[in-house]
Chain A
Amino acid sequence: MLLLERRPVDSSLMRWASPLLALVLTVITGFILFLAMGKDPVEGLRFFFITPISDLMGLAELGLKMAPLLLCAAGLTVCYRAKIWNIGAEGHFLMGALGASIVAVQLVDVDSVWVLPVVLVAGTLAGMAWAALAAGLKTHLNCNEILTTIMLNYIALNLLLYTVHGPLKDPYGFGFPQSVMFGDSALLPDLIPGTRLHLGLAFGLLAAVAVWVMFARSFIGFQLNVVGQDHRAAAFAGFGARRLTWFAFLVGGATAGLAGASEVTGPIGQLVPQVSPGYGYTAIIVVFLGRMHALGIVVASALLALTFIGGEILQIAMNMPKAVTGLFQGLLLFYLLTCDAFIHYRIRLKRPAHPSTHSTATGEA
């Protein structure tokens, strides 16, 4: 009989091997899936994983999708390290996009180097404000942050929809629910000329570096770790849970808000209803896959950015539903959590308790 047995010490090899194993399992499942659908699996996997990154243009697109994922994931890492289950990156992101857009639309005719920073700060602050709601609900009203952040995501989405259908709607937009195009001074500069890759990726990488410094060097990072691993020890040590909760939420809101602002001032250049294909939710997978580690989330955000582009390519090239992106992301997270179990456990063949032959009497007592 197979027996799941607790390891005396957690396996650090498995900790880093688990994401790779999960990826392999996802690819295998994908292979089977393509076969089952009567498509060429090799072709399909190539379209999904290889084609997007086979030229500079593709890599630039990858970076473009990576930027919001990495920014959101950096903020979520801070939250999840402290076991604050903020699922609200999507909402912070949408509010960031909305906040930035409101300011950008007001400044559409202003030509100044200050426009872009003001717009970005507005988005960041909007994200923080939205996160602050969840933080306050948790610290002062004792509400579970998973439920409140999810609800706030839906509210943010409806708020954004209301805005593009109403106050911010471009009167000359042929009835489409979208804002006017922003002025040039509100747009992020490109990183690589001729591609759509913009400064947002640099923000993301900077955020990853900041996360690294925070958890490798700073006392507040240590405090967040303690809160996450052992909230009773944190209370004993006097690391104020309220203060740290606010800190984590505000960082999460700021990075996701900046991501939203970068998205509308970057590739889109206006506010549209589909500003996010679910970056805030995918960022959750990035954090888990990246082991809540700065370097890990950089790699993981690249991988998950690939699933967005790969899904689009499959849709065009092989007539697959676009939902294949979500399916791959879900599978990946699933396999990851399953593989993660073997960080703490190992499989052992169960030895029979009595090698010799004993009758199993129940006793007559």
Chain B
Amino acid sequence: MELLTNVLAATVVAGTPLLLVALGELICERSGVLNLGQEGMMLMGAVAGFVATLTSGSLIVGVAAAIVAGIGMSMLFAFMAVTLAANQYAAGLALTIFGTGLSAFLGAGFVGQSIDGFTRVAIPLLSDIPVLGRVLFDQDPLVYLSLIAFAGVAFFLRHTRGGLLLRAAGEDPDAANANGLKVLVVRYLAVAFGGGMAGLAGAYLSLAYTPLWTENMTAGRGWIALALVVFASWRPERVLLGAYLFGAASILHLVLQGLGWKSSTELLAMLPYVVTILMLVLLSWNPARTRLNTPLSLGQPYRPGH
């Protein structure tokens, strides 16, 4: 029981960065913009958060810096993909390559340094619930923030006019424009939200998960999150579920080693990536189903009046 509780708690922790970045990308894709630059934005968030915390001594400043860095990166992308109507695939790839390079460059002097990262803050009463209390209510503040973000995104999409506008811009920007919606503004905001969330997810890695900075420390989580959004058929509840599922996959090797199961670390480290492909297979083999949920204009550049 103790082991199970700890594994579940670790699963939530491992799933949190995925949840954060995937929620941001979900909003972004619902507006019709596919931003493949998640990895780059996360890395920039991670390095900015780490350096800001190290120099200011404040985790809050670090988180804020990470969010700003993520938004800043996403605005570069938005300028190319929304304003200049460039190919979104290419622009997203560029963002990842650029972010990887820039973060490594900026963080080069900070490798090996350490900070005091976020620690667990138990919520009174709730954390006393057996199992669930430890798993959900005795975690670091960013985990709570991710759950609030999840609830916010779910509510926004389903119950607000803003959510309606977002979906409209993503489904048919021409029609939305004809209806008088400012498609480009909606898309800019959606991309910015995605950037902020990716920056936050990066900060989670460098301020909570492993409070240090190393090059490429996201290890493909940005890409996994992109797959996660497809897997979730663009629905927030499934993003939550999927994020924890992938979280479980990524700590499985620790669990197995803990159980005394001998296997190569390298082979087990493949697991999250293999699971990602399996999930894509599971979800994609039926095109009809995918079609039903895909934002129709996803990946299509849009310029009003043409």
Contacts and interface: CB of A to CB of B under 8 A. Distances in A.
Q: Do chains A and B touch in the complex (CB under 8 A)?
A: yes
Interface of A: 4, 6, 85, 87, 137, 141-144, 146-148, 150-152, 154-155, 158-159, 161-162, 165-166, 281, 284-285, 288, 321-331, 333-334, 336-338, 340-341, 344-345
B264 A162 contact: yes
Given A158-B269, A323-B215, A137 B281 contact: yes
Contacts of A333: 93-94, 97-98
Contacts of B277: 137, 143, 148, 151-152
B80 A337 contact: yes
B228 to A, nearest CB: 10
Contact of B84 (A152, A154, A161, A341): A341
A344 B83 CA distance: 13
Contacts of B36: 146
A326 B286 CA distance: 39
B227 to A, nearest CB: 5
Interface stretch (B14-22, B102-110, B188-196, B234-242): B102-110
Which of B94, B102, B108 has most chain A Cβ within 10 Å? B94
Interface of B: 36, 76, 79-80, 83-87, 89-91, 93-95, 97-102, 104-105, 108-109, 215, 219-220, 223-224, 226-227, 230, 264, 266-267, 269-270, 273-274, 276-277, 280-281, 284-287, 290, 303, 306
Nearest to A6: B306
Contact of A155 (B98, B108, B224, B273): B273
Contacts of A325: 101
A288 B276 contact: no
Given A151-B224, A159-B270, A338-B79, 5 more contacts: A4-B83, A141-B280, A337-B84, A338-B80, A341-B85
Contacts of A142: 284-287, 290
A165 B266 contact: yes
A151 B97 contact: no
A323 B281 contact: no
A131 to B, nearest CB: 14
A152 B227 CA distance: 13
A286 to B, nearest CB: 12
A150 B87 CA distance: 19
Nearest to A161: B266
B50 to A, nearest CB: 15
A154 B270 CA distance: 7
A143 B277 CA distance: 8
A285 B100 CA distance: 14
A214 B102 CA distance: 37
Contact of B97 (A155, A281, A338): A281
Given A151-B227, A162-B264, A338-B84, A330 B270 contact: no
B105 to A, nearest CB: 4
Contacts of A340: 86
B62 to A, nearest CB: 21
Contacts, number: 140
B80 A341 contact: yes
B267 A158 contact: yes
B231 to A, nearest CB: 10
A283 B94 CA distance: 12
B100 A326 contact: yes
A327 B102 contact: yes
A264 to B, nearest CB: 18
Contacts of B85: 341, 344-345
A137 B270 contact: no
Nearest to B286: A142
Nearest to B283: A143
A330 B220 contact: no
Contacts of A329: 97, 101
Q: Which 5 A-B pairs have the closest CB atoms?
A: A326-B101, A330-B98, A321-B108, A323-B104, A341-B84
B101 A155 contact: no
A4 B220 contact: no
A328 B97 CA distance: 10
Most buried by A among B93, B108, B215, B269: B93
A284 B93 contact: yes
Contact of B285 (A141, A326, A330): A141
B189 to A, nearest CB: 20
Most buried by B among A151, A321, A325, A340: A151
Nearest to A142: B284
A338 B76 CA distance: 10
Contacts of A323: 101, 104-105, 108, 215
Contact of A147 (B230, B266, B270, B303): B230
A85 B89 contact: yes
A327 B101 contact: yes
Given A326-B100, A334-B76, A154 B273 contact: yes
Nearest to B98: A330
B97 A330 contact: yes
Nearest to A324: B105
Contacts of B287: 142
Given A158-B267, A323-B101, A333-B97, A143 B84 contact: no
